[in-house]
Structure formats: C-alpha cells, structure tokens
Amino acid sequence: DQQVKQNSPSLSVQEGRISILNCDYTNSMFDYFLWYKKYPAEGPTFLISISSIKDKNEDGRFTVFLNKSAKHLSLHIVPSQPGDSAVYFCAYTRDDKIIFGKGTRLHILP
C-alpha cells in the first residue's frame, strides 16, 4: 500500500515556465512533508519542507502547497531552469517514520 503517491513518473516543462510536481498521501497524521531533488549518480538533496500546520511554504523559486482536505501536496518551481532537470521525491515524516514516494522525473526543455 503506497502511503505517498507521485502519480506522474515524468514531466516535461519549457524553460522559464512553471513546473508543478504533485504528491498525494493516504495518512492524515504527519509532522512534515519534505521534497528532495536527485541528480543521476548522486544522492538526494533536501529542497524544501512544510509542517502539518501550514498550507504554504516558499523559498526562492520553490513553493510548496499543502491541501490537507484533499490530502494533496504540490511543489511549484517558477521560473523553471535547466538545472532543475532531476528526479523529485516527496516524503512525509510521522513519529519515527519517514515515507518516500517513488519520484517524478522533471525534464526542462530549452
């Protein structure tokens, strides 16, 4: 049973446009949601997080939105840049657990 679902395995976006990465979850109890970015042959790197008591968190070009009623999380990247091409993982933490989604591969097109 997938507790964190990233339903789009891949996404292509034109450079300069907005990239929207989505994540759905099944469990209502969590502490934080986190987004990690991964380049080939490297480990994931932390991007941005949001706590369960917030509905938005912004850091530069990256904004995460949390819709608790829909159990939906999204990451917006504006404007998209070539270096944003990577695999993006969402994850949530609860008590002593961390659960990752399977990832979405983002391609930024020139």
Cβ proximity to other proteins: between 35 and 80 the closer is 35
Residue 4's CB is within 10 A of a number of other CB atoms, namely 21
Query: What is the torsional sign of CA 74, 79, 81, 83?
Result: negative
If one asks whether residue 57 binds other proteins (CB under 8 A), the answer comes out as no
How far is residue 54's CA from residue 109's CA, in Å, rounded to a whole number? 32
Footprint of other proteins on 5-44 (CB under 8 A): 31-32, 34, 41-44
Contact 77, 64 (CB under 8 A): no
Least spacing, CB of residue 66 vs other proteins, in Å: 16
Considering only residues 68 through 97, tell me which ones interact with other proteins, judged by CB under 8 A: 89, 91, 93, 96-97
100 binds other proteins, rule: CB under 8 A: yes
Residue in this structure with the two tokens 């964190």, named with its chain if needed = 4
What is residue 94's three-state secondary structure?
A: strand
Q: Which of residues 39 and 78 has its CB atom nearest to other proteins in the complex? A: 39
Tell me which residues touch other proteins (CB under 8 A).
31-32, 34, 41-46, 49, 89, 91, 93, 96-103
